[in-house]
Structure 1
Amino acid sequence: MHVERTFIVNRPIDEVFDYLSDFENTQEWDPGTLETTRTEGDGGLGTTYRNRSSFMGREVELTYRTIGFDRPTFFSCQGTNKTATATDTMTFTREGERTQIQYRADFEFHGVVKFIAPLIVKPKLSALADETIEQIADALEA
């Protein structure tokens, strides 16, 4: 399951990349994030984060690892726990002084959850993606 959105923000590409690739900032731009803390690394490839989020009334914790980091054009971070793997991928393109962001979130569910997720989770993902890009734009343009 995945959602994908492309949008433009009125900020330079370097600033956009630096802000979004610091995954501790998810508290400001990800509607479900309650807390994200860097647990290891310098912010680049291989850096790990502990993320606590709320989704559909449940609190979940994932351990994220930066799996793609090519400043200032590409960032990807993958989170795992026993029931899910979530991968956030962002591609950045310079548009003069603005930046186009292509945001994609992929979700893979494990165990029994993989059978019910398409029925329960999938319908909520589109609305969550819309809210996420709105919050990213608001955070970057504030």
Structure 2
Amino acid sequence: MVHIVREFEVPCPQDAAVAYLADFANAVEWDPGTVSCVRVGDPAAPVVPGATWTNVSKVLGRETTLTYELVTLEADHVVLEGSNKTADSRDDLRVTAVDERTSRIRYEATITFKGLARLTDPLMALVFRGIADETVDDMTAALTRVAR
């Protein structure tokens, strides 16, 4: 299992940050591993728990497709869970208002590999630590654009 936690502040109001992060199609802007992320069904439909996306990510030169579902959407909390035959992924995002224009993000990512893929846990833990640092930079830049 890979477990990563990062906490950082962004110059974006809490409500705008939560709305942006809940729409997982935006992952192409803030997740450095995401190649594409397309909403299943009507992309114009409201983003509510139960909404799903097909996410294609590339890690170590290999592409993998996961189906993600928005499982929690609250004023300060977004949880997205993805899965395929080799892994389960959970992105748990807590968004706390620091003031009217600034939010504190607590980003917790957990990836549980299945079957023989579990043997890659030590390597993938190192890889995802680096990706998590890039994610902080990319998410900060994306939420800065959202706030403008």
Q: TM-score range by the shorter chain?
A: over 0.9
Letter in 2 for 1:76: V
**Is 2:103 the counterpart of 1:99?**
yes
Partner of 2:65: 61
TM-score (norm 2): 0.91
Summarize the alignment of residues 1-142 of structure 1 with structure 2, pairs less than 5 Å apart. Answer: 1-40=2-41, 42-70=46-74, 72-97=75-100, 98-114=102-118, 116-142=119-145
Unaligned 5+ runs, structure 1: none
TM-score by length of 1: 0.95
In structure 2, what is the Cα distance between the partners aligned to 1:53 and 1:118? 17
Structure 2, gaps ≥5 residues long? none
Identity rate, percent:
34
Equivalenced residues, count: 140
Structure 2 Cα separation of the partners of residues 105 and 119 of structure 1: 16
Q: Which has the higher contact order (CA 8 A, sep 6+)?
A: 2
Alpha carbon RMSD of aligned pairs, Å?
Answer: 1.0
Structure 1 residue 113, shift from structure 2 partner? 0.6
How far did 1:34 drift?
0.7
The residue matched to 2:40 in structure 1 has which SS?
strand
In structure 2, what is the Cα distance between the partners aligned to 1:27 and 1:118? 24
The answer to whether the 8 Å contact 2:69/2:80 transfers is: yes
Matched residue SS, 1:119: helix
The CA deviation at 1:118 is 1.9
Q: How far apart are residue 42 of structure 1 and its match?
A: 3.1
Structure 1: which amino acid aligns with 2:143? L
Could you tell me which amino acid in structure 2 is paired with residue 3 of structure 1?
Answer: I
85-94 or 39-48: which moved more?
Answer: 39-48
CA distance in 1, matches of 2:53, 2:46: 11
